[in-house]
A = this chain, B = another copy of it.
């Protein structure tokens, strides 16, 4: 196999929702009160919903931008790649990046759709359903075989959430984005029986619980004055907390077919984690009364958890200590951790470095994603048209140059102060509803 022969199905990318996404999807009585994209005098666009204002952070829609322009300041839609919010442009960008398919997490509603929680349950439910309808029928369905559909949860009600999972599964959805720690959001924890109806629905419909880093709504900073690099370094690995919380829970014992994806969590730390979990079991299971029916925690992990990485050379080398059937790859377009459009080059270099055989490459780059997410792009696209090389040939002439910043040119010192404000809110527990 050569680099251009790889088939890339990415399990973690992001959509910047377009302004018209609710049009025609809400009962008339809710239209005026729905979230709306507001163009501000300074040229930036923000989503507004009741008291909440959600800027489009420049780290979240950064594809194609030079590093000097990274930062947390808000942007206008006219400053970011149209591929962030326009489905046709997205496909062109995917082609240029050699990506056959993607799974797109939400942006302004938050990973767990928490923004839509209001005191009016009917309204909230209408927003969740409208969002999911837009995502499935509009965003994903426009290009069959190019997207693993994923819906947002009814985060405040496990019964309604279960019903929404079933409604979406009926039209081919097998992924639910969720919170890595509902307890931090003021909801019952993973250990509470409150969620049982949801676990049952996920198992029944073969739907994966996809928990993205940062999806508790709390960013991880040791102190309010920690440099931003601390948060950026720690964020993927912080998903280990959710992994441990679920691995040891009675949830996996009561719902043995439940499957969980640790989205953007990286993989290089996993072998250490599995060794530690097995040793914890050996030493402590007697008094903690843990019983996996004769299995070790590392075996349970491989039965239930899907991992993924963007760039993680060590993890590629340790793939068999992680579980070759448990690893997927992600592009993270259009976020700052993404190497789009050169992602295949870096990925291939790591495969070469570790002499990874073709069978392992195929599992990591697309077969595991297909299996775990019940996704088959090849009913729509021929395999020979699905490779990095074929897709890039199809994208020839597509403009991948930078779109210039036109508003809010901000100096580094001010960017750091913006981060500091966010860190303060995070430590104080007053982060916004996302």
Q: Copy number of this protein in the oligomer?
A: 2
The A139-198 residues at the B interface (CB cut-off 8 A) are 181, 183-184, 189-192
The A252-304 residues at the B interface (CB cut-off 8 A) are 266, 268-269, 271-273, 275-277, 279-281, 283-290
CB-CB < 8 A to A249: which residues of B? Answer: 226-227
Cα distance A266–B183 when bound, in Å?
A: 28
Contact with B along A311-339 (1 / 0, CB 8 A): 11111001001000000000000001100
Determine whether A430 belongs to the interface, using a CB cutoff of 8 Å to chain B.
no
Does A222 contact B237, Cβ atoms closer than 8 Å? no
CB-CB < 8 A to A69: which residues of B? Answer: 287
Interface-located stretch among A124-132, A228-236, A368-376 = A228-236
Determine whether A31 belongs to the interface, using a CB cutoff of 8 Å to chain B.
no
CB-CB < 8 A to A70: which residues of B? Answer: 283-284, 286-287
Contact for A190 among B223, B272, B311, B336, CB less than 8 A:
B223
Known contacts A223-B191, A233-B277, A276-B233; decide if A416 and B289 are in contact (CB<8 Å): yes
Contact with B along A57-75 (1 / 0, CB 8 A): 0000000000111110000
Does A223 contact B183, Cβ atoms closer than 8 Å? yes
- Chain A interfacial residues counted at CB < 8 A: 68
Contact for A314 among B71, B225, B240, B271, CB less than 8 A:
B271
Determine whether A133 belongs to the interface, using a CB cutoff of 8 Å to chain B.
no
Does A233 contact B225, Cβ atoms closer than 8 Å? no
**Interface class of chain A by DSSP:** helix
Does B189 contact A312, Cβ atoms closer than 8 Å? no
Does B191 contact A225, Cβ atoms closer than 8 Å? yes
Cα distance A283–B68 when bound, in Å?
A: 10
Determine whether A52 belongs to the interface, using a CB cutoff of 8 Å to chain B.
no
Most chain B beta-carbon neighbours within 10 Å: one of A71, A225, A275, A276 = A276
Does A67 contact B286, Cβ atoms closer than 8 Å? yes
CB-CB < 8 A to A273: which residues of B? Answer: 233, 237, 269
Taking the nearest CB of chain B, how far is it from the CB of A309, in angstroms? Answer: 10
CB-CB < 8 A to A287: which residues of B? Answer: 67-71, 412, 415
Most chain B beta-carbon neighbours within 10 Å: one of A70, A222, A275, A337 = A222
Contact for A225 among B189, B230, B240, CB less than 8 A:
B189
Determine whether A385 belongs to the interface, using a CB cutoff of 8 Å to chain B.
no
Taking the nearest CB of chain B, how far is it from the CB of A88, in angstroms? Answer: 29
Cα distance A192–B226 when bound, in Å?
A: 10
Cα distance A181–B220 when bound, in Å?
A: 13
Does A222 contact B189, Cβ atoms closer than 8 Å? yes
Taking the nearest CB of chain B, how far is it from the CB of A252, in angstroms? Answer: 12
Contact for A189 among B224, B233, B314, B412, CB less than 8 A:
B224
Taking the nearest CB of chain B, how far is it from the CB of A290, in angstroms? Answer: 6
Contact for A248 among B230, B268, B314, CB less than 8 A:
B230
Determine whether A26 belongs to the interface, using a CB cutoff of 8 Å to chain B.
no
CB-CB < 8 A to A413: which residues of B? Answer: 289
Nearest first, the 10 A-B pairs at minimum CB distance are A268-B272, A189-B223, A183-B223, A222-B245, A229-B248, A191-B225, A67-B286, A70-B287, A269-B272, A227-B248
Q: Which residues of A contact B (CB under 8 A)?
A: 67-71, 181, 183-184, 189-192, 220, 222-230, 232-234, 236-237, 240-242, 244-245, 247-249, 266, 268-269, 271-273, 275-277, 279-281, 283-290, 311-315, 318, 321, 336-337, 412-413, 415-416
Name 19 interchain pairs, CB-CB below 8 A, sorted by A. Answer: A67-B284, A67-B287, A181-B223, A189-B222, A220-B241, A223-B245, A229-B277, A229-B281, A229-B284, A232-B280, A233-B276, A234-B240, A234-B241, A234-B244, A266-B272, A272-B272, A283-B336, A283-B337, A287-B415
